[in-house]
Amino acid sequence: MGGVLKPVDKLSLREEQRVRLIVEPIGDSLPDREVALKKLREGIEGMKFFSEGKLPSRDELHDRV
């Protein structure tokens, strides 16, 4: 209000510490969420979350000394 930004939580900054502040509007508008969900699904489809062949045993995964 009145052009003043107020943090929601206490900031752990020392007096007169310089910072970089990036201001971006946030919102829960449905179109933005749909676009983000579409991008997420496209990214997931491009990934390969499967393994071919025999899975390694526990001993093969962990070096035993």
pLDDT for the residue numbered 18: 93
Mean pLDDT in the chain? 82
Could you tell me how many residues make up the chain?
Answer: 65
Sign of CA dihedral 36, 39, 43, 45: positive
Q: Which residue, among 21, 16, 18, has the nearest Cα to 6 in the 3D structure?
A: 21
CA 27/CA 21 separation, integer angstroms: 18
Residue pointed to by tokens 């062949």: 53
Residue 1 has pLDDT above 70, yes or no: no
The pLDDT tens digits for 4-16 are: 888 889 989 999 9
State the first-to-last Cα distance of the chain, in angstroms, to the nearest integer: 63
Top-confidence residue, 47 or 18: 18
pTM: 0.31
